[in-house]
Amino acid sequence: MKILVVGGAGYIGSHTCLDLHAKGFTPVVFDNLENGHEEFVRWGPFERGDILDTDRVHEVIARYQPEAIVHFAALIEVGQSVQAPLAFYRNNVAGTISLLSAARRAGVRRMVFSSTCATYGLPQHLPLTEGHPQRPLSPYGRTKLMVEDILRDMSGADDFRSVSLRYFNAAGADPEGRIGEWHEPETHAIPLALEVALGRRRDFKIFGDDYDTRDGTCVRDYVHVMDLADAHSRAVQYLLDDGASISINLGTGTGTTVKELLDKIEAVTRRKLNVVEAARRPGDAPVLVADNELAREVLGWSPRYDLSEIVGTAWNWHSRSNM
Ligand code: UDP
């Protein structure tokens, strides 16, 4: 059974292909390689193309006749979205409309969509449940919320169905070290700290140590990319079993401060990190932790990797790769 994985050459997309393949699906990757890596396409055919090119997407869907689409293709860097909002609205919103038009024309009516906890904005209560108001703090978060809204509206119009998965902090890598996190430029805490451990970067800057948290640094819910991948395969199966449209959090429910994360990284790598205090990063919520009951109930999902394994698999990848 074929699944079209749009943006399947990226970080979470490539790990999802690995998992889909292990569960008996054939992942067909569609990616423009602007941020993806062709060497990450290892578990099925590759078609290069851009989601804004509706005819090209339609051609690929018509050729492979996938049962469902898993849609990762997006610009993801929050800071860039503030600097270049139009590029984000074009790629993330107009691009998705183009993809949906092609899918509709080709008769594919099932989609799993990469959404984010960034759609919630500043938490009014914790842990964050799916019913929490969605008031994103950045253009990036707004593009993701807009697509969630579009998908909801489409489900009301005909038998189109979708699952929007709201990720918390994706981290870690394939335990066998074949693929991993590779962003350019890198902005995420774990890869940046590992680069410091490897001597490829001088220091790790803690963005704010005066938050109202247990040690003053921000709390995040780090979830292993293989657990996210597993949730995507489950969401595909849920849609193939005629599940209704839904939005679901993907997080562990456990919060980790930046300082706790750095302690864990020092323990796993057995290296001392050069850490410096820096100013708060605009738009950072002090605490983001998921309520994951819905994922457990609806998808039968539960996270299998803890923070040590997240850092361990990321370290295994980073220390062996030259990214
Ligand atoms: N962070 C940091 N220094 C860095 C990068 C990130 O202190 O160089 C902090 C950031 O403020 C946040 C956490 O680490 O609290 C995770 O940030 P990341 O960018 O990895 O993910 P985000 O939470 O923004 O999705």
Domain spans, the chain: 2-168+225-250
Query: 233 pLDDT exceeds 60?
Result: yes
Q: Tell me the average pLDDT across 192-211.
A: 97
Work out which ligand 1 atom sits closest to the CA atom of 258: 14
Work out which ligand 1 atom sits closest to the CA atom of 261: 14
Query: 245 pLDDT exceeds 70?
Result: yes
Q: Is 140 a catalytic residue?
A: yes
**Residue/partner pairs of 93-98 with CB below 8 Å, 24 or more apart:** 93/143, 93/146, 93/147, 93/150, 94/52, 95/50, 95/51, 95/52, 96/51, 96/71, 96/147, 96/150, 97/150, 98/51, 98/52, 98/53, 98/54, 98/57
Report whether residue 197 contacts ligand 1, using a CB cutoff of 6 Å.
Answer: no
Cα separation of 128 and 116, whole Å?
A: 12
Phi first, then psi: give them for residue 23, nearest 5 degrees. Answer: -95, 10
> For residues 241 and 161, is the Cβ–Cβ distance under 8 A?
no
Beta bridge partners of 31: 48
Report whether residue 187 contacts ligand 1, using a CB cutoff of 6 Å.
Answer: yes
Looking at the chain, the whole-number percentage of residues with pLDDT higher than 90 is 95
Given the residues 11, 64, 120, 140, the one annotated as active site:
140
pLDDT tens digits for range 13-72: 999 999 999 999 999 999 999 999 999 999 999 999 999 999 999 999 999 999 999 999
Report whether residue 258 contacts ligand 1, using a CB cutoff of 6 Å.
Answer: yes
Q: Which of 220, 250, 256, 289 to mutate to test the pocket of ligand 1 (most atoms within 8 A of CB)?
A: 220
Q: How far is the CA of 167 from the centre of ligand 1 (A)?
A: 15
Q: How far is the CA of 189 from the centre of ligand 1 (A)?
A: 5
User: Which pLDDT score is estimated for 323?
Assistant: 57
Report whether residue 263 contacts ligand 1, using a CB cutoff of 6 Å.
Answer: no
Place of tokens 């998965």: 165
Superfamily of 2-168+225-250 according to CATH: NAD(P)-binding Rossmann-like Domain (3.40.50.720)
Phi first, then psi: give them for residue 232, nearest 5 degrees. Answer: -65, -45
pLDDT tens digits for range 100-114: 999 999 999 999 999
pLDDT tens digits for range 263-298: 999 999 999 999 999 999 988 999 999 999 999 999
Beta bridge partners of 275: 204
User: Which pLDDT score is estimated for 156?
Assistant: 87
Residue 322's pLDDT band (cuts 50, 70, 90):
low
DSSP letter (8 states) at residue 280: P
pLDDT mean across residues, the chain: 97
Report whether residue 206 contacts ligand 1, using a CB cutoff of 6 Å.
Answer: yes
Query: 77 pLDDT exceeds 70?
Result: yes
pLDDT tens digits for range 149-188: 999 999 988 899 999 999 999 999 999 999 999 988 899 9
Q: How far is the CA of 57 from the centre of ligand 1 (A)?
A: 34
Work out which ligand 1 atom sits closest to the CA atom of 281: 11
For atom 16 of ligand 1, the residue with the nearest CA is 189
Q: Nearest Cα to 168, choosing from 243, 129, 117?
A: 117
Looking at the chain, the whole-number percentage of residues with pLDDT higher than 70 is 99
User: Which pLDDT score is estimated for 320?
Assistant: 86
Dig out the tokens for 100 from the structure: 């949906």
User: Which pLDDT score is estimated for 294?
Assistant: 98
For atom 5 of ligand 1, the residue with the nearest CA is 189
For atom 1 of ligand 1, the residue with the nearest CA is 189
User: Which pLDDT score is estimated for 283?
Assistant: 83
- How crowded is residue 102: how many other Cβ atoms within 10 Å of its Cβ? 22
Dig out the tokens for 9 from the structure: 């050459």
Place of tokens 């457990």: 296
For atom 11 of ligand 1, the residue with the nearest CA is 207
Crossing angle between the packed helical segments 189-197 and 258-269, to the nearest 10 degrees: 40
Burial of residue 199 (CB within 10 Å: 0-12, 13-18, 19+) is exposed
Q: How far is the CA of 188 from the centre of ligand 1 (A)?
A: 6
Query: 238 pLDDT exceeds 60?
Result: yes
Q: Nearest Cα to 76, choosing from 7, 129, 17?
A: 7
Q: Tell me the average pLDDT across 195-205.
A: 97
Cα separation of 242 and 97, whole Å?
A: 23
Report whether residue 189 contacts ligand 1, using a CB cutoff of 6 Å.
Answer: yes
> For residues 133 and 124, is the Cβ–Cβ distance under 8 A?
yes
